[in-house]
Amino acid sequence: MSSKNERLRDEILKRSGVNPKKCMRCGKCSATCPAYDEMEYHPHQFVSMVENGDIEPLINSKGIYRCLSCFACVDRCPRGVEPAKLVEAVRLEVIRKQGANHLTADGVEAFLDGEIPQQAIVSALRKYSK
């Protein structure tokens, strides 16, 4: 496996606090995901790819911005794996790779997409209200 990156995987796991070994491959996360068809890697794949250290394809995927951070997968996972937190951790990895985030409040509007809820706002809301 060429894309295997254990250092990055450990970093993602540490950042998200998720233990993908708890996953029993039931697929309820993917069954419950409202953005399923928008993502090239579906929630259950996301979990197993992180577990295997396949992080690069995830970083380069558009799907991480299609995740609504609705946390349905977190809520319904019978094993408490919390896939959405992994998605968030990968997103953070992208941001950190790009260096400091120079976005100001005034600049946000330009990025707003009418179709998809604004990612950062939604995930921040989830993070701080949970």
21 sits near other proteins (criterion: CB under 8 A): no
What's the rounded Cα separation, in Å, for the pair 15 and 70?
19
- Tell me the closest approach of the beta carbon of residue 27 to other proteins, in angstroms: 4
121 sits near other proteins (criterion: CB under 8 A): no
CB 79 within 8 A of CB 22: yes
The label of the residue with tokens 């951790």 reads 89
Alpha helices, H only, 27-118: 28-32, 43-51, 56-59, 63-66, 72-76, 83-97, 108-111
- Tell me the closest approach of the beta carbon of residue 32 to other proteins, in angstroms: 3
- Tell me the closest approach of the beta carbon of residue 102 to other proteins, in angstroms: 37
What's the rounded Cα separation, in Å, for the pair 7 and 75?
28
Site string for other proteins, 63-92 (x = CB under 8 A): ---------x---xxxxxx-----------
> Could you give phi then psi for residue 54, rounded to 5 degrees?
-85, 70
In the list 17, 19, 26, 103, the residue contacting other proteins (rule: CB under 8 A) is: 26
117 sits near other proteins (criterion: CB under 8 A): no
31 sits near other proteins (criterion: CB under 8 A): yes
Stretch that binds other proteins, among 36-44, 90-98, 101-109, 116-124 (CB under 8 A): 36-44
